[in-house]
Amino acid sequence: MKGLIPVGLVVAILFSVQIVLSFERPPMSSVQQGFRGTGMVETYNPREAEELAEINQPPESFGPLEPGGDKASDVYENVQVLGHLSDDEFIGLMALITEWVSPEEGCAYCHNEDNLASDEVYAKGVARRMIEMTWNVNANWTDHVKDTGVTCYTCHRGQPQPQYAWYSETGPAQQTGGFSQSRNNQNVATEVAAYSSLPYDALDRLLAAEGEIRVQPRNGLPIFGQTGSSIQDTEVTYSLMMYMSESLGVNCTFCHNSRAFYKWDESAPQRVRAWHGIQMVRNLNQEYVVPLKPVIPEEHLGVSGDIAKVGCNTCHQGINKPLYGAKMLPDALPLSGPPQ
Ligand code: HEC
Ligand code: HEC
Ligand code: HEC
Ligand code: HEC
């Protein structure tokens, strides 16, 4: 009997310590986002904000690319997308791309250095498509990126493989108990689902495909022959919302008034911006990234053999505006859109 008390005490102490450790150390500061009394407030931890600020600075500027020399299509042999640039802009852009994507490997990441015109290195073909993808974002998705736009650096940050692109989660192997033990792609701690019990395939269903993002049914009562929002739709919606909040480093009230999550006219303008973001990400994955899979070397693919895809975090990396809204395009105008 005597021995039991200390054991209970030790367990209680360990338990309390664990709870205390799971809190964030103060101080916290908050910024009001909406009308007073609506609870639309962002809370920040200044210590963490400082760490984020350190790693999310734009790279050194080399100034705008100056036109000069003959047309690239007259100077070079195999220029399929950048032929309209002047020679100086073309070479300047090559140098920038190298800084942003493969500073360590240099030109050789994309080129056979004995024959720059050759397409034998797969990364060159990928980069050509990436240039077109960047044009697409900057020219067609201004409802999301405004005139800030993006460059290769927004996603790549000096690495050939963007750190915050995502692969499909496979989860643990399915148990053999049949339907009764089916996990339904949830109840596994994964980063995408913010370590909650929510489904881990939300990004596959909602950012690579056109799944329904909906909780509130369209009709008050079920109508014969029409399906409402299923529990599955609901769970996958919340999972995506967790991912979006984590990606931007904000909480739900950055976009929603929590008294009515579904209501657009009570939501913050950022929600509309996010809606365009969702459409943009689907477009980038479907039209550009996923079709590149066959040329990507196997060791760059995920465990289920899929290519790393674009998500909110690929650009945002924990900040509501990537790189705090730094405008890098003026130094790389040829990336702002396709030739007119
Ligand atoms: C991330 C990939 C990438 C890197 C790194 C890169 N390039 Fe390129 N380079 C390309 C692509 C893509 C093209 C083809 C552009 C087109 O089709 O319009 C190209 C074409 C060229 C050409 C034209 C060759 C010809 O005759 O057709 C030259 C010259 C060139 N690059 C020089 C360089 C130099 C010098 C470096 C290093 C400072 C470099 N590149 C780094 C992707 C890259
Ligand atoms: C919206 C985000 C985004 C932007 C902007 C972007 N990329 Fe990418 N890039 C990706 C993703 C996602 C992949 C696929 C990841 C992989 O291959 O692992 C990729 C792959 C690549 C690869 C092949 C990497 C490998 O597997 O070896 C190259 C090279 C590349 N990008 C170059 C560029 C260049 C050059 C630019 C700018 C003109 C650019 N990217 C702009 C997201 C982006
Ligand atoms: C960056 C903005 C943003 C953040 C942050 C955000 N949401 Fe959303 N939310 C949206 C958008 C945009 C939609 C609508 C998507 C659509 O209709 O395609 C949406 C839809 C929803 C819906 C479905 C409403 C309906 O019509 O049924 C719910 C519920 C929801 N969000 C809850 C949350 C919760 C909970 C959080 C925090 C964990 C959150 N959201 C964080 C932008 C955001
Ligand atoms: C290709 C890069 C890229 C991707 C991917 C991306 N965004 Fe953005 N987003 C931006 C840029 C750039 C801005 C800043 C534009 C500006 O200066 O106003 C921005 C701004 C926003 C804003 C406005 C923030 C504010 O403070 O007003 C929201 C909200 C947002 N993004 C949500 C999302 C969501 C949600 C996703 C994923 C579904 C997403 N973004 C994916 C590049 C991206």
Ligand 3, CB cutoff 6 Å, lining residues:
213-216, 237-238, 241-242, 244-245, 248, 250, 252, 254-256, 261-262, 270-271, 274-275, 278
Ligand found nearest the CA of 321 = 4
pLDDT at 181: 65
What's the average model confidence in pLDDT over 92-121? Answer: 97
Dist CA 110 CA 96 (whole Å): 13
Contact 34, 40 (CB under 8 A): yes
Contact 312, 203 (CB under 8 A): no
What's the average model confidence in pLDDT over 59-78? Answer: 94
CA distances from 209 to 132, 139, 155 (A): 21, 23, 21
**What angle is formed at CA 328 by the lines to CA 324 and CA 330, rounded to 5 degrees?**
140
Dist CA 288 CA 247 (whole Å): 22
Is 82 a pocket residue for ligand 2 (Cβ < 6 Å)?
Answer: no
What's the average model confidence in pLDDT over 71-98? Answer: 97
Higher pLDDT, 224 or 152: 152
**pLDDT, tens digit (0-9, with 9 covering 90-100), for 234-259:** 899 999 999 999 999 999 999 999 88
What's the average model confidence in pLDDT over 90-112? Answer: 97
Residue type at 41 in one-letter notation: V
Contact 134, 150 (CB under 8 A): yes
Dist CA 143 CA 305 (whole Å): 33
Whose Cα sits closest to atom 38 in ligand 4? 278
**pLDDT, tens digit (0-9, with 9 covering 90-100), for 190-214:** 887 878 888 889 999 999 999 889 8
pLDDT at 185: 82
Whose Cα sits closest to atom 12 in ligand 4? 145
pLDDT at 195: 84
Query: Which atom of ligand 2 lies at the shortest distance from residue 300's CA?
Result: 18
Ligand 3 centre distance from Cα of residue 237 (Å): 7
Residue type at 26 in one-letter notation: P
Higher pLDDT, 1 or 233: 233
Dist CA 239 CA 251 (whole Å): 13
Is 110 a pocket residue for ligand 1 (Cβ < 6 Å)?
Answer: yes
pLDDT at 176: 60
Query: Which atom of ligand 4 lies at the shortest distance from residue 270's CA?
Result: 29
pLDDT at 40: 86
Pocket test for ligand 2, best of 99, 155, 279, 315 (most atoms within 8 A of CB): 155
Is 270 a pocket residue for ligand 4 (Cβ < 6 Å)?
Answer: yes
Find out whether the peptide bond into 330 is cis, omega within 30 degrees of 0.
no
Q: Is the pLDDT of residue 1 over 60?
A: no
pLDDT at 332: 96
**pLDDT, tens digit (0-9, with 9 covering 90-100), for 7-48:** 889 999 999 998 888 887 778 888 888 788 888 888 888 888
Ligand 4 centre distance from Cα of residue 277 (Å): 6
Ligand found nearest the CA of 90 = 1
**pLDDT, tens digit (0-9, with 9 covering 90-100), for 147-185:** 999 999 999 999 999 999 999 987 776 666 666 666 778
Dist CA 235 CA 179 (whole Å): 19
What's the average model confidence in pLDDT over 71-75? Answer: 96
pLDDT at 289: 98
pLDDT cut 70: percent of the chain above it: 93
**pLDDT, tens digit (0-9, with 9 covering 90-100), for 253-303:** 999 998 899 999 999 999 999 999 999 999 999 999 999 999 999 999 999
What's the average model confidence in pLDDT over 311-337? Answer: 96
